[in-house]
Amino acid sequence: MIDISVTNLVKEFEVGTKILDGFTFQVDAGERVGLLGPNGCGKTTLLRILTGVMDYDEGEVVIAPGKRLGLISQIPVYPAGYTVEDVLDTAFAPLHEMEEEMEQLSHQMAAGDSDPALLARYDKLSAAFQSEGGYETDTRKNKVCNGLSISRDMRERLFDKLSGGEKTRVNLGRLILEDTDILLLDEPTNHLDLRATEWLEEYLEKFKGTVLTVSHDRYFLDKVVSRVIEIQNGKAEFYSGNYSFYAVEKERRYEEKLKQYEKEQAKIEQLEKSAEQLRTWAYSGMDKTFRRAKSMEKRIEKMRTTDRPTRERKMEVRFGEREFRGDEVMTVKNLEKSFGERTLFSGVNLEVEGGERIALLGDNGTGKSTLIKIIMGEEAPDGGKLRLGPTVRIGYLPQIIHFDHPERNLVDTMIYDLDCTPQTARNRLASFKFRGEDVFKPVSTLSGGEQSRLRLCMLMDAKINLLILDEPTNHLDIQSREWIEEAVEEYEGNLLFVSHDRYFIDRFATRIWMLEDGHITDFKGTYQEYLAAKQRQKLAAAAPAPAAKEEPKKEKPKRPGGTKELEKQVNAAERAVAKAEEQMYDLSLQIEEAASDYLKLQELYEQREALEEEILKLYGNWESLSAQLEEARG
């Protein structure tokens, strides 16, 4: 059964510029589809058309009859005074109506009304109320709120007073509680922390309905979608797999098309030479060859079927770097910070040395951005000390971009900030894909992603050796994220970043600072190593306590030499552990070598995860055999 059918869709905002041009696709019931394309290609426009919020110029849009459809980015207007709890409760409006009618019927029956029709209606409502989970609304609501980090305190706040990100989270929770048949997700992970993102992924894995999602979170796409539709020049390109499949297949198609184009051009060049020769002969008096030349030229025109395939030009990006002297980058001693009665963190002690790349992680609201502001000197700590090395110079890309003069255009902003010539400013802007008339736009008209790109462009000129990034990939499309990653890859100084983009964390972090419960857990290793260590802790905590020892039975005297077989088994187990540890070391080297190959990394991480489980089993076997051997030896 088809849930969404779109045929020859056309939409233009400016005459002659079609953002969607004959866009055609369909989504079957229960499918998980990712909608990809650069910012501005029409992804959000398409979602709004599907919900009926926006009209279209031509084509046909059909949603399966009777299916409930919900869009995450579309935040409804609620009555004044509505709290978050009230907004979440709107998901149960039909159940509340049933409950009210049941209550009225109950009062009528208590007053002595014994009409059979009234009793039948009550029984029907009661059965429907129970089957649709009317008695479980609070449980469902609490489960969703816990998963999306919607605290009890937040549930009591006025919805109108929430930030845009918080409103999006609450709206996501409301749609999940509504049990919508077709979920349209527009960048659902943008305002979620890692824990909430993982919870959403688990929810979507169990969700029985249809999902169409716009996302630039590559981990999310890999885990959630099984098919990709890319908007390219207003039309649909289809890929039968997740994001990793799409990345490989897109490159393969490009190479194939390039080979076809080059082969076609070589043939055309050969025929053009022949046609030119025939024309030369025709001018020498051989009239028949002129007709043959004309015929060949027509054939050449018919052969020009393949346009040269193009790729988006990469940004020419590189951070200016300042030489760093000495080992000390930053020292933190007993740092603490509170807001009112709430303690964000306390007793923080950290030492940062040259060359480290640190990911500062934690749930939303734990104080990550506050810690960054303390490092930047924008916020004062309540206690403790933070000292930077004498030769440290910081480059900072904040989460919320602010320009002192948003009314200035891009060229003037660069000239005033960098004290450079107009030509230098335009050259720098061009390398960051700000070209033509775009450079004369006021900064205030730029999107969030474009403002991040402009700030990054201005930052590139600075000579720095400590780069601090606060959510650097937020609001950026996949291509823009890859540009920033290329710049960070080439940068050799210290890096400290806050991010919920697991691909970015995986690629760059060599040390993890996890901020939770007011303390920082300092883990020296990659993100995958951190997750593996966390999983081992969880397994160890969940392991059953050793059973109480029973009264030892009287054992028969052991014959001399009875431990030889056990000794062999223990030695074999030790060798197996040593071999597995060697494999783990080799795998670690391969992971370091493949740092920039996303697909290879994914494969290697899976191998490492399997090997870690195997090592745990081998250790368990060795410990068990060793204990038996000790017991046998008395």
Q: What percent of the chain has pLDDT over 90?
A: 29
- Residues 502, 411, single domain; the answer is yes
In this prediction, residues 472-496 reach a mean pLDDT of: 81
Of 611 and 249, the structure prediction assigns the larger pLDDT to 249
Q: Which two tokens stand for residue 140?
A: 């469902």
20 within domain boundaries: no
pLDDT above 70 covers a percentage of the chain that reads 87
In contact, 513 and 360? CB cutoff 8 Å:
yes
Residues 367 and 494 both lie in one domain: yes
276 and 355 assigned to the same domain: no
Q: Is the pLDDT of residue 11 over 90?
A: yes
Same domain, 390 and 426: yes
Residue at 405 is within a domain: yes
Query: Does the pLDDT value for residue 222 go beyond 50?
Result: yes
Tell me if 133 sits within 8 A of 96, measured CB to CB. no
User: Would the pLDDT of 239 be above 70?
Assistant: yes
Residue 356: is its pLDDT beyond 70? yes
Copy the structure tokens of residue 153: 């305190």
- Across the range 578-604, mean pLDDT stands at 73
Domain-embedded: residue 576: yes
pLDDT of residue 57: 92
**Least confident range of 62-66, 103-107, 314-318, 483-487:** 314-318
* Residue with the two structure tokens 């474009």: 450
Cα distance between residue 545 and residue 540, in whole Å: 10
How do strand 328-339 and strand 383-388 relate by DSSP bridges? antiparallel
pLDDT grade for 559, boundaries at 50, 70 and 90: very low
Residue 454 in any domain: the answer is yes
d(CA 235, CA 8): 9
Distance (Å, whole) CA 407 – CA 444 = 6
Same domain, yes or no, for 294 and 353?
no
CATH number reported for the structural domain that contains residue 478 in this entry: 3.40.50.300
Say whether 315 sits in a helix, a strand or coil.
coil
CA distance 257 to 304: 13
| In a domain? residue 554 | no
Predicted confidence at residue 317, as pLDDT, reads 57
pLDDT at 320 over 70: no
- Mean pLDDT for 128-134 is 82
Instruction: Please check whether residues 465 and 568 belong to one and the same domain.
Output: no
Q: Kindly state the average pLDDT of the residues 567-587.
A: 77
Mean pLDDT of 160-165: 78
Place 286 in a pLDDT band, splitting at 50, 70 and 90.
low
pLDDT at 178: 85
Average pLDDT, rounded, for the chain: 83
User: Between residues 222 and 598, which one has the greater pLDDT?
Assistant: 222
d(CA 489, CA 74): 36
Measure Cα distances from 177 to 76, 132, 170, 187, 508 in Å: 15, 12, 11, 19, 37
Domain boundary among 287, 303, 319: 303
Residue 626 CA, distance from chain mean position: 46
Answer whether 530's CB lies under 8 Å from 362's CB: no
Q: Please check whether residue 424 lies inside any domain of the structure.
A: yes
pLDDT at position 325: 56
pLDDT band, very low/low/confident/very high, at 149 (cuts 50, 70, 90): confident
> pLDDT at position 488, please?
83
In a domain, 135, yes or no: no
Evaluate whether 512 touches 391 at the Cβ level (below 8 Å): no
3 state DSSP class of 327: coil
Q: How far is CA 43 from the centre of its chain?
A: 17
- Kindly state whether residues 379 and 470 are assigned to the same domain: yes
Give the H or E element holding residue 389.
Answer: none
Strand order in the sheet with 357-361: 394-397, 466-470, 494-498, 357-361, 511-516, 519-524
Q: Are residues 295 and 334 in the same domain?
A: no
Say if residue 348 is in the same domain as residue 431: yes
Q: How confident is the model over 442-457, as a mean pLDDT?
A: 82
pLDDT for 368-399, tens place per residue? 989 999 999 889 999 999 999 888 888 888 87
Say if residue 340 is in the same domain as residue 392: yes
Within a 13 Å sphere around the CA of 366, how many CA atoms are in the beta-carbon half? 19
Query: Residue 568 above 90 pLDDT?
Result: no
Tell me what the mean pLDDT of segment 41-46 comes to: 90
Q: Are residues 403 and 297 in the same domain?
A: no
Residue 114 lies in a domain: no
Asked if 520 and 574 sit in the same domain, the reply is no
| Nearest Cα to Cα of residue 464 among 532, 399, 391 | 391
Q: In sequence order, which residues have a C-beta less than 8 Å from that of residue 181 and are 6 or more positions away? A: 3, 67, 68, 69, 209, 210
Give the number of domains in the chain: 3
User: In which domain, by residue range, is 422 found?
Assistant: 328-528
Strands 394-397, 69-71: pairing kind: unpaired
Which pLDDT does position 436 carry in this prediction?
86
